[in-house]
Structure 1
Amino acid sequence: MKFIKLLIILLAVMTLNGCVLTKLITVPMRIGGAVISIIPVAGNTAHDAIDKAADQVDDINI
């Protein structure tokens, strides 16, 4: 019974590993970029840079 529980936990961790960990990092980045985008003149440039960085973090294979 312990082996089955361990196997299920291991499979869940392997499945959720990359997706969940990168989303924990990139969601606050994207929210910050959206807030920054309301600043006149430099807001959209900063938002685009943050969004590009968040896309690259999403592509990392963790």
Structure 2
Amino acid sequence: MRPETHLVLHHACAAELRAEADVYRLAAQARHPRDLRIRLGWALVELGLRMAAAPKAAAAIP
């Protein structure tokens, strides 16, 4: 294979890899708000479970 042909193929392959990396990077950035919602949701579930399991000391006082 001639060196020029090899160089052209290398540039084409590198461009495809850069495009795939950009797509992956954009997908990873778009995924962060969803991760935040999931963490917030589980934090609220944990808070609710703690409130439901809290002792009822204030209700026992007449």
TM-score, normalised to structure 2, is 0.46
Structure 1 or 2, whichever has the larger Rg, is 2
